[in-house]
Amino acid sequence: MSDRIVRERNRVVRHSVVELAEHWAVALSGLALLVSGMFQLPMGSRYYINSIPGLAWSADYMVSLNVHYAASIVFVAAALFHLVYHGLRGDRGMIPRRGDLRASIDVMKSFFGRGEEPPFHKYLPEQRLAYVGMAVIVAMLIVSGLVKTYKNLYAPDMSYAVVLWATWVHNIGFVLFAMAFVAHIGAILLEPNRPMLRGILTGAVRLDYAERRHPLWIAEIEGARPGIQAESTDPDSESAADREEAPVALEAAGELPAGSQAAGGESAAVPQGPVEAEPGCSTPRGESPPQG
């Protein structure tokens, strides 16, 4: 997992360089597909788009078709890479979970001041639902686009029914992709979601934002179990532990002889070796003479 916390910079890494590259490859090639697809209708000459400096090619059907083909190569390659790369890594963060629909409704209500947001993992529940929807739309576009391309390049006499179905599926996918594209941009502009824009551009978001809105994700990064809070410490137990550790520290420092402290903090008798008597005295030092 590439996610990591950089506390000294108040950042948490949300996306790796590879994830950023595939995201922007899909986004930019998808935008190029939308624009070049519309220019084939033709919209460039009808709405005088070709009069805009740099867009004179918008009225040329063959040019816009070639741009469409070039963008589709990047789009398909990025989509397949995403599927294989994350499939091999076993990434499941964007797969919808039970209760996502209900949680998404709660999140949308919170945008209007009705209730509070639940704690989130790395992705919002509506992001996971939108991911599945976008995957279906991308699949529609790729499959129908490949059929249309094969017909244009290799099989001009392809069955009319197949071509008609591919055209309808491609057009519907085009409209849905455009709507999803606008919805994606609109969602990121909502005030609660704006801090995530930094993650799309740089791969990292503010740590304080993530701790406030994505505490379950932060707990996963730190290796803690989500939803489990640290137990409160009993002051008495701390004091007892300090009393037990103090003699050990003193022994290590050489201030107490080893074994001078028994368990529980009580003094224990320290066995003494034989003590030599002072010269000229039959009684060892420190002992009382026997009483007659």
Taking only the tens of pLDDT, the chain with its 292 residues reads 578 999 999 999 999 999 999 999 999 999 999 999 999 888 888 888 989 998 898 999 999 999 999 999 999 999 999 999 999 999 988 999 888 888 888 888 887 777 788 888 999 998 999 999 999 999 999 999 999 999 999 999 999 999 999 999 999 999 999 999 999 999 898 888 899 999 999 999 999 999 999 999 999 998 854 443 333 334 443 444 444 444 444 344 444 444 444 444 444 444 444 444 444 444 444 444 444 3
* CB count in 10 Å sphere of residue 206: 16
Q: Is the pTM of this model over 0.85?
A: no
Contacts of 13 (CB under 8 A, 6+ apart): 2, 3, 4, 5, 6, 203, 204
Q: Which residue bears the tokens 């730190």?
A: 222
Task: Report the alpha-carbon distance of residue 207 to residue 232 in Å, rounded.
Answer: 25
> Residue ranges of the domains in the chain?
10-91+194-224, 103-193
* Ramachandran category for residue 287: left, alpha or beta (phi over 0 → left; psi -120 to 50 → alpha): beta
